[in-house]
Each structure stands twice: as C-alpha cells, then as structure tokens.
Copies of this chain bind each other. A is one copy, B any other.
C-alpha cells in the first residue's frame, strides 16, 4: 500500500526511501502495541464528539484489536512500503473496513501519534525498570544482611584506607538504587502527559476532546500547548534516559568493583562457574565477561542519552525529522537497563565472599586512623595525634577486625549500617 502522503504522479527516489524510511521497522514493531492503544482511544473520542458515528468507532476499535492480536502472535508484518507502524495501521484499517478506515486520522497527525505511542511505551517500561530496580535492591540487601560483618578493606584512591565490610559495600548499592527509584519517578511524571490531539503541533480545526483521550489513556495530565508537545520531543526522552543512566551508574560501579575484586590479586569473591566464560587459547581463564560488558553498557547508555540530547539541539520550534533518530537510542537504553538489572540480580545470587582472602587482605596500616582517633579522644589535638601516629605506622597492631567494625556505631558506619531501614523503604514503594 501507499504512504499516507503519496500523491498521484510522484515517485520517491529509492535512495531516499532507503535513507529515511526503511530502518524504522524493527523499532516501530516495539511501538505498535502502544500506537494501537492510542488509536483506540482516539477512535472512541471521535465518536464521543460526533466526528464519526458510534458504529464507525466500533468498527475501528474492533479492527484495531485485530491488529493487536495479530501483533501479539507475531503475525502483523510491517512492510517497507508501509513506511512506519502508523501507516501500516491505517493501511490495514482501510483494507479491512474501507472508508471507515480512512477516517481514523481525523484530528491527529503522525507527529502526535508517535509522541503518544512513545509516552505510553516509556510509561510501561519505566514501571518495569522501577520494579526490577526494587527487586535487584532486595537481592543485594539480602546479600548485605547475610555478610554484614564480613571484613573487607575500604579503599580511597584505590589504596587501602580504612576497615570496612561486605555488608557496607553491598549496602551502598542498595541505597544508591533506592535513590535511583525516585529519579525514575521524576522521569515517569514528566513523561506522563498526553500529547494526543496536538496533531502536527498546531492543533486542529476539528472539535476534538483532548481531556477525553487523556483519561482513556490513563495519562496523569494533558500536555496543553500543542506546540510544546512537539518541542518536548527529544527533551522528555533525554530526561528519561538521564534517569536510566543513573541506574546504570549504580550497576556499573558494582560491575567495575567485581572485575577487580575477582581478579587474581584481590580474589574477594568466589563466583559460580556458570557465570564465567573462557579463553580460546588460555585454558585456565575464568572471565567475568558479564561485568565487563555491563561496565561498557554504562557508556552505551550515556551515549544514548547524549545522542538524544545533541540531535535535539539547534532545531526550529515544531517537529523536525531529525527527532525520529531519537527513537532508537531511547529503546536501546531501556533494553540495556532491563537486561543489566537481571544480570546484577543473577550475580548477587551467585557470588560468595572468600572469607580467607578477605581476612588476610587488610594491611595493618589500615587501622592507623582508629589509632589517631584514640589519641584524639584522650585529648591530644587531632592534628597532633595524626602526626604522632604517622611516625609509628610500622608499630600498629591489627585489632580483632569484627570487633573493630562493630565498634563504629554512628549511623551508616560499618557497625551500624541500619540495613533494616532499606527493607522498610523497599516495602513501602
């Protein structure tokens, strides 16, 4: 079937089609479901305001649901001639119900159609990410509780600094993920506004009811100014990906730590062999590829974010085709974040602290600061206590580490991680 805008007598050059159209299909496949949902709401609204009859609306909705089911079964093929999923839907409607199908596009444009589909898609995916983040946090929290007082060196500048614990290390990620949840919520709220009915960006002369579709589609509010609807394309997506990137920052820190902590020199954790991969020539290798790939994927999501941002700049108000390019990095970012979360959950169910290694890892000097503090508590001015200790570093006698950890009792210190607090937070969300 033809493109929606094809006029008789003109033919698009095949290179043009190839350059701008043909690569849409795979992405549009992911958006099809959401476009159908929006189209159903749109058809009902058209009947609601009297632009089409109830019977016509019924036929449209029924046929749209057919597409939905076909798509679910993987039987709704997007053809290259269809240009995009929006066109494929209209073409299918026309094929099946003739003139009624030709009415579906009243009072909307592809510009607001794709915006709406993207918003609905992002809403669903953000909820999914949030759920996965919470589940991942729970898994890590269990791990932290199980190994709360297993000693582990604490590092600054990648140098042994002060005694810490596996519980503190893991707990840090739990708190980080719980912060991320709130950023996802902020992104969710920004995205939760209905652009449908903004048409090409300047509304329509037809008497549509935008509040009706807002309610039907479950949007929290209407995105009012129709030009802003289009101007926010790229902008809202970029903020969504910035929030996703925050999750990746948390996961990436775990990944990078794991790469190092499972190296020969550290050996802090034993990893289930089913998580490792090998080398084509070195039979001894047990590589934690998943952590390296995850670490790299943090950069990929960062680059998805800046690609969306950068493409969206220096463009005139209103829709510009450039913005279509922002679809791919958005979808890619969601995919990576969801997969990466499942990998981290898998990880924490498959690693065990290597107690022997961890116990012997701490260099006596790691307790120097505790010594300084003891002197300070005895009344020696802190800076003097510091200098005094600096001169007798080689005389520091390592204490019982677990007792040392437990003696640090202020909030958030290894002896008072207050892990229960996170448990309550996770429940509450």
- Assess the A311–B299 pair: CB atoms within 8 A: yes
CB neighbours of A317 from chain B (8 A): 155, 169, 172, 253, 257
Bound Cα distance A141, B371 (Å): 44
Kindly state whether residue A370 has any CB partner on chain B within 8 Å. Answer: yes
Which residue, A13, A253, A413, has most C-beta atoms of chain B within 10 A?
A: A413
CB contact list, A234-249 vs B, under 8 A: 235, 238-239, 242, 245-246, 249
Kindly state whether residue A231 has any CB partner on chain B within 8 Å. Answer: yes
Bound Cα distance A13, B292 (Å): 16
Q: Which of B15, B250, B303, B368 contacts A306 (CB 8 A)?
A: B303
Which residue, A310, A374, A389, has most C-beta atoms of chain B within 10 A?
A: A310
Beta-carbon nearest neighbor of A17 in chain B: B277
CB neighbours of A18 from chain B (8 A): 339
The copy count of this chain in the complex is 4
Given the interface pairs A299-B313, A318-B161, the reply to whether A156 lies near B293 with Cβ below 8 Å is no
Interface size on A, residues (CB 8 A): 193
Q: Which of A27-35, A63-71, A124-132, A260-268 contacts its partner?
A: A260-268
Bound Cα distance A10, B391 (Å): 12
Q: Which of B19, B157, B202 contacts A413 (CB 8 A)?
A: B202
Q: Which of B16, B183, B298, B320 contacts A277 (CB 8 A)?
A: B16
CB neighbours of A222 from chain B (8 A): 411-412
CB neighbours of A179 from chain B (8 A): 190, 232
Kindly state whether residue A295 has any CB partner on chain B within 8 Å. Answer: yes
Beta-carbon nearest neighbor of A10 in chain B: B273
Q: Which of B102, B223, B242, B282 contacts A239 (CB 8 A)?
A: B242
Kindly state whether residue A352 has any CB partner on chain B within 8 Å. Answer: no
- Assess the B168–A278 pair: CB atoms within 8 A: no
Q: Chain A's interface: helix, strand, loop or mixed, by majority? A: helix
CB contact list, A306-360 vs B, under 8 A: 306-307, 309-325, 329, 339-340, 342-343, 346, 350
Beta-carbon nearest neighbor of A156 in chain B: B319
Q: Which of B100, B161, B297 contacts A279 (CB 8 A)?
A: B161
Given the interface pairs A4-B280, A210-B411, A282-B368, the reply to whether A318 lies near B156 with Cβ below 8 Å is yes
Kindly state whether residue A86 has any CB partner on chain B within 8 Å. Answer: yes
Kindly state whether residue A82 has any CB partner on chain B within 8 Å. Answer: no
Bound Cα distance A376, B309 (Å): 38
CB neighbours of A323 from chain B (8 A): 296
- Assess the A274–B16 pair: CB atoms within 8 A: yes
CB neighbours of A346 from chain B (8 A): 13, 15-16
Kindly state whether residue A123 has any CB partner on chain B within 8 Å. Answer: no
CB neighbours of A3 from chain B (8 A): 277-278
Q: Give chain B nearest CB distance to A13 CB in angstroms.
A: 4
CB neighbours of A297 from chain B (8 A): 325
Kindly state whether residue A147 has any CB partner on chain B within 8 Å. Answer: no
- Assess the A366–B252 pair: CB atoms within 8 A: no
Can you sample 9 A-B contacts with CB below 8 Å?
A10-B274, A16-B277, A153-B264, A159-B262, A172-B228, A199-B281, A211-B411, A224-B411, A249-B309
List the 6 closest A-B pairs by CB distance, nearest first. A5-B278, A203-B413, A102-B381, A186-B186, A314-B314, A292-B321
